[in-house]
Amino acid sequence: MGMTVVEKILARATGQAQVRVGDVVEPAVDLAMSHENAALVINQFQEIFEGTGLEPTVWDPSKIAIIFDHRVPAESSKTATNQKRIRDFVAAQGISKFHDVRADQGGICHQILPEYGYVRPGYVVVGTDSHTTSHGAVGAFAFGLGATEMAAVWALGKVLNVEVPATIKVVANGSFGQWVSPKDLILYLIGKISAEGANFRVLEYHGSAIRNMPVSGRLTVSNMSMEAGATAGIIPADEETELYLRREAGVTDDLDVVQPDADAVYEQVVEIDVAELGPQIAKPHTVDNVCGVGEVEGLKVQQIVIGSCTNGRLDDLEIAARLLRGKTVAKGTRMLVFPASWKIYKQALRSGVLADLADAGAVIMNSGCGCCLGVHQGALGDGEVALATTNRNFKGRMGNPKGEVYLCSPATAAASAVTGVITDPRKVGA
């Protein structure tokens, strides 16, 4: 019987010829990522060593990545002190993949990992962040876990007691219509299978729409697979993955391009024709509350947000600039832009994209998680509506339980910035 991608990766990571759904395995970890919550991981890590007489040293400092992104520059003394503790730990343990608050290396963890080639096809990647699913975009098995579980990984180099998950195959064929993008596809899928539709399962993506999608769009799809509850969202590696890793990330090593077997067993197959998709919107307060843009067109929006680990990449910013060039953000609406990494920030700066957005009235924020999780600038006022390219619209997400967050693609966000109300980008864009 054949294996899915996750089964193949877990078989390799445990030195077995074959694993099956439901098997309990302890896979070796290729990359372990944390952000500011490394402060909590450090506490738990030290506790594991208590009473053992062993020095608390990490299993392999070259396989740990720590990226400051959630609250940069620090929004409070508490965060600043956590960051200081983490810096000391990083230095003491010799952790090399560390990205501080710097414009020559910083950004959101889920952009930094692919951008620096830290994630590769076939890798087992874990992160203390639920959107670690992002890295399935390059063919890795990447999943989120909590701080204590990460502490155990730092100590042991493997994840304990992992059940091999079942896989749902998603086949997306066809070509996207104008101003329709990977974000619309993933919102549609989440709406279709629900916020728990893939809980404890892996989504594995196939079809011509995926094959023709650049890695930036694939990162959006894998990132938001989490919002269907998926453990991971894997896009089997292909020429595009290889091209990206070689050209963008400068990777020169051989790549382990893991493909599923032709007779792999899937729990379910979901087919989507993207040619039939229009712009999608996730309404408050769950990500699976999805509708076509037409249903909410005309709703007044006070804050437009373009950025995050979901849609803060160069092509996302370019789409926004194309729609806003020569126009202005509507009166009564504010627009915030935060690029996913400083590399992207500087590319958009040099190409003029950021100037175009700023000329239209958008506020360019520093690269990081920005207002996505409601901690660091860009909070909503009571009763205000935000339209955002981020990935979550939970109550309170943008810093105020009395605010409402709608999710959409960069094109829909930019078109709506011009009008000040939720707008179908196909009506604004030429």
Q: Which residues bind ligand SF4 (CB under 6 A)?
A: 69-70, 108, 110, 129, 131, 308-309, 369, 372-373, 390-391
Q: Is the peptide bond before 73 cis (omega within 30 degrees of 0)?
A: yes
The residue among 173 and 289 lying less far from another protein, judged by its C-beta, is 289
Residue-wise DSSP of 272-314? EEGGG---EEEPTT-TT-EEEGGGTTT-B-SEEEEEHHHH-SH
The residue among 325 and 395 lying less far from another protein, judged by its C-beta, is 395
State which of residues 14, 105, 130, 302 lies at the interface with another protein (CB under 8 A): 130
48 lies in the site for another protein, by CB under 8 A: yes
Q: Which does 163 bind (CB under 5 to 8 A by kind): ligand SF4, another protein, none?
A: another protein
The residue among 128 and 419 lying less far from ligand SF4, judged by its C-beta, is 128
The residue among 152 and 314 lying less far from another protein, judged by its C-beta, is 152
| Partners of 162 in the β-ladder | 25
List Cα–Cα distances, 309 to 217, 263, 331, 367, in angstroms.
Answer: 11, 34, 28, 10
State which of residues 375, 407, 413, 414 lies at the interface with another protein (CB under 8 A): 375
Position 105: which residue type? Q
Q: Which does 108 bind (CB under 5 to 8 A by kind): ligand SF4, another protein, none?
A: ligand SF4
Residue-wise DSSP of 65-133? EEE--TTSS-SSHHHHHHHHHHHHHHHHHT--EEE-S-TTT-B-HHHHHHHTT---TT-EEEESSGGGG
Q: Which does 374 bind (CB under 5 to 8 A by kind): another protein, ligand SF4, none?
A: another protein
401-430 binders of another protein (CB under 8 A): 401
- Distance from C-alpha of 240 to C-alpha of 234, rounded to nearest angstrom: 14
Secondary structure percentages of the chain, helix, strand, coil, to 5: 35, 20, 45
- Distance from C-alpha of 236 to C-alpha of 121, rounded to nearest angstrom: 8
Q: Which does 309 bind (CB under 5 to 8 A by kind): ligand SF4, another protein, none?
A: ligand SF4
| Structure-token pair, residue 3 | 């294996």
350 lies in the site for another protein, by CB under 8 A: no
- Largest distance between two CA atoms of the chain: 68
The residue among 308 and 333 lying less far from ligand SF4, judged by its C-beta, is 308
Binding mask 180-219 for another protein (x = CB under 8 A): ---------------xx--xx-------------------
Binding mask 139-178 for another protein (x = CB under 8 A): -----xxxxxx-xx--xx---xxxx---------------
Total residues contacting another protein (rule CB under 8 A)?
56
Instruction: Please count the other Cβ atoms lying within 10 Å of the Cβ belonging to residue 252.
Output: 8
299 lies in the site for another protein, by CB under 8 A: no
CA 342 to chain centre: 16
44 lies in the site for another protein, by CB under 8 A: yes
Strand 64-67 to 97-99 pairing: parallel
Sheet with 31-34, edge to edge strand ranges: 97-99, 64-67, 31-34, 124-127, 141-144
State which of residues 361, 395, 420, 421 lies at the interface with another protein (CB under 8 A): 395
Contacting residues toward another protein, per CB under 8 A: 24, 36-37, 39-40, 43-44, 47-52, 54, 70-71, 76, 78-79, 82, 127-130, 132, 144-149, 151-152, 155-156, 160-163, 195-196, 199-200, 229, 231, 286, 373-375, 392, 394-397, 399, 401
